[in-house]
Amino acid sequence: MIHNGKIGYKRDEFRKIFQIYSTFVYKGLFKDFSFAEIDGRYYISFREEAGKTPLITIEKKKLSADRALFIATTPSSNGQPQEIVRSEKIDSFVTQLREKIEKIQESRKDGKVVNLR
């Protein structure tokens, strides 16, 4: 959805992203979900606890009138955002994102630090 040069999430895109969030709420990883709009850029964030730094942040960037890029980041060891998934296709994006989040959850169970690149 585009309004005044801004780009938002289509219903199907949001549904697919929210389904991942819901799955990992059920598995105990996430407990908070938020939206942010900063300078016409839209972000969805998944948090382990309300008020904490997001574990996953998803941005949808406008590439052209009919193309967009989905980017997911997670904080690196120095706190800076580290890109973990990038795709123009929502189905590919959510498949890759689910795999990365599963790695995060497994690493936390095992007490390991995982390289998500």
In a domain, 96, yes or no: yes
Q: What stretch of H or E contains 108? A: helix 90-110
The structural domain count of the chain equals: 1
Least confident range of 30-34, 66-70, 113-117: 113-117
Question: Is residue 115 a part of any domain in this protein?
Answer: no
Instruction: Quickly count: other Cβ atoms within 10 Å of residue 2's Cβ.
Output: 12
Average pLDDT, stretch 51-77? 91
Let me know: does 15 contact 2? Beta carbons within 8 Å.
no
pTM: 0.85
Coil, helix or strand for 117?
Answer: coil
What are the phi and psi torsion angles at 46 (to 5°)? -110, 130
Asked if pLDDT for residue 26 goes beyond 90, the answer is yes
Domain assignment present for 54:
yes
103 within some domain: yes
Residue 42's domain comprises 2-110
Residue 117 lies in a domain: no
Number of continuous H segments (helices) and E segments (strands) in the chain:
2, 7
